[in-house]
Amino acid sequence: MSQLKLSKDSWSSQTVFIMAAIGSAVGLGNIWKFPYITGENGGGAFVLVYLACVLLIGLPVLISEIALGRSGKANPIQGMANLARENGASKLWVLLGFNGVLAGALILSFYTVIAGWAFAYFFQSLFGVFDRITATEVGAHFDHLLANPYELIFWHTFVTVVTVLIVSRGVKSGLEKAINFMMPGLLFILLVLLGYSTTTGSFGQSFDFLFSADFSKLTWESVLVAMGHAFFTLSIGLGTMMVYGSYLSQEYSIVKASLWIAFADTAVALLAGLVIFSIVFANGLEASSGPGLLFQTLPIAFSQMTAGWFFGTLFFALVVMAALSSSISLIEPIVSWFDQNWGIKRVKAACILGFIIWFVGFGTVLSFNEWQDIHFIGERTFFESLDLITTNIMLPLGGFLMTIFVAWVMRSKEREKQIELSTNKMKLFLFVLKWISPVAVMVVFASNLVAGEIAIAMLGVAFLMYAFYAWNVSRKI
């Protein structure tokens, strides 16, 4: 048996760790995805389910994932191998790591495409394209962007290259600096936009849409989407928080950090939702218009408000930065696996991965134009299918396995060393971890099995994991 392979990097302080974790969590998921899936799934009831998932599944998984990372001290695959060995468990646990590595690459392939839209909007805003633009023109402008695959590929390429460049520089120099001014900046501009949204006359309607629950609009599939999103937005279930945790030294409190991460992440999503739906209702737009929602609403606000050009440009710059601090965290688990297990150095690993992700991203680019009518899983386009498999199946599956490991497999002494809670709180935490979070994931999965295509997608993921394992079992881990 080879000796333990461990992460050598570490964060320079607790605050840096929290900032990097928040930088990973806060991204397109909060600003772009949360509003549009809320619009598609009917508002209030969906938001309530999402919030319940964050609290009862997301937070326990987040705590568990960071704890697994700090205890396993390596990338998700090697980390699980280390943990399995130390806790006398089966080597099959490395499957959890494979699931994450694969999901990370697949999510990144569409993440860079959407971040590309934000990049395009940043430059267009800078050059005054949105000055005095009307609501109809904003819609047409977005449709025009989507209809042009070459333009989308250009921006997608741009984002992929920037991501590869930052990741090549390593966790510390690459990550720490950008994040320090990005988060406060994003919060500031969201508050400015919140101020604007109270002047639209539709703020109350937006508030009602988000917070008054009408359960008749809820289907089991929207519950699956809400649960998947809780994972997506907190960056959990994949191994990002595991790698970040592996760089965390022993004296820092994982529980406290997790509370901060979950709080900041949820606050940004709700703020973005309030702002965007105020604009939707004030301009008679469709709440359920899909992935373009952010891009079809905010330019209207910027064209109407004082200093709109300045705030618009700043806003899209911050969205781009929020997206980059998340995209690097999607690739980090894989890069550290390449580095620690295959001896492929950071720069080379980032380049190889960047190329693969860039190529797969074409599928997402084409989903919005040439391949619009080609369906992959059920009625879903390539992008929608990829989103279903990764966000709604692979992430909850990964999170489920993490809760099982921490609750049932990890030695209690090690668990208590990582997760410092008073006796009573530990009892409550363990109860949730054993009986609530994993059961909830399975119930939501099971209730979606009736949709035949989702059942087949789940089987597909299981098969893929097995194939991955069989291919790797002969290698030393």
Taking CA atoms, 332 is separated from 76, 166, 179, in Å, by 10, 11, 16
Give, for 241, the enclosing helix (H) or strand (E): helix 240-246
Q: Which of 160, 233, 266, 296 binds ligand TRP (CB under 6 A)?
A: 233
Q: Which of 16, 18, 22, 27 binds ligand TRP (CB under 6 A)?
A: 27
CB 221 within 8 A of CB 299: no
Q: Is residue 99 at the binding interface for ligand TRP, with CB under 6 A as the rule?
A: no
Rounded distance between C-alpha atoms, residue 138 and residue 299, angstroms: 7
What separation, in Å, do the N-terminal and C-terminal C-alpha atoms of the chain show?
8
Q: Which of 18, 19, 20, 28 binds ligand TRP (CB under 6 A)?
A: 28
- Of 7-15, 24-32, 49-57, 60-68, which part binds ligand TRP (CB under 6 A)? 24-32
Between 78 and 326, name the residue whose CB sits nearer to ligand TRP: 326
Instruction: Name the 3-class secondary structure at 203.
Output: helix
With CB atoms as reference, the residue minimizing the distance to ligand TRP is 29
Between 21 and 146, name the residue whose CB sits nearer to ligand TRP: 21
- Of 55-63, 130-138, 178-186, 324-332, which part binds ligand TRP (CB under 6 A)? 324-332
Between 223 and 319, name the residue whose CB sits nearer to ligand TRP: 319
Q: Is residue 297 at the binding interface for ligand TRP, with CB under 6 A as the rule?
A: no
Q: Which of 109, 197, 258, 326 binds ligand TRP (CB under 6 A)?
A: 326
At 74, list the tokens. Answer: 């390596």
- Of 26-34, 61-69, 205-213, 366-374, which part binds ligand TRP (CB under 6 A)? 26-34
Please give the residues from 107 up to 126 whose contact with ligand TRP meets the rule CB under 6 A: 107
Q: Smallest gap, in angstroms, from Cβ of residue 354 to ligand TRP?
A: 16
Size of the site for ligand TRP (CB under 6 A): 16
Mask for 330-349, x = binds ligand TRP (CB under 6 A): x-------------------
Q: Which of 46, 50, 98, 232 binds ligand TRP (CB under 6 A)?
A: 232
Q: What is the DSSP letter of 127?
A: T
Q: Which of 24, 160, 303, 403 binds ligand TRP (CB under 6 A)?
A: 24
Listing DSSP states for 68-122 in one string gives HHHHH-S-HHHHHHHHHHHTT--GGGHHHHHHHHHHHHHHHHHHHHHHHHHHHHH
At 159, list the tokens. Answer: 């984002």
Mask for 346-375, x = binds ligand TRP (CB under 6 A): ------------------------------
At 108, list the tokens. Answer: 């990144």
Between 18 and 133, name the residue whose CB sits nearer to ligand TRP: 18
Q: Is residue 329 at the binding interface for ligand TRP, with CB under 6 A as the rule?
A: yes
Rounded distance between C-alpha atoms, residue 440 and residue 56, angstroms: 9
Q: What is the DSSP letter of 411?
A: -
Q: Which of 78, 202, 206, 240 binds ligand TRP (CB under 6 A)?
A: 240
Of how many residues is the chain composed?
477
Name residues whose C-beta falls within 8 Å of residue 63's C-beta, 6 or more positions apart in sequence. Answer: 254, 255, 258, 419, 429
CB 20 within 8 A of CB 176: yes
* CB half-sphere exposure, 50, CA atoms < 13 A: 34
Q: Which residues contact ligand TRP (rule: CB under 6 A)?
A: 24-25, 27-30, 107, 232-233, 235, 238, 240, 326, 329-330, 395
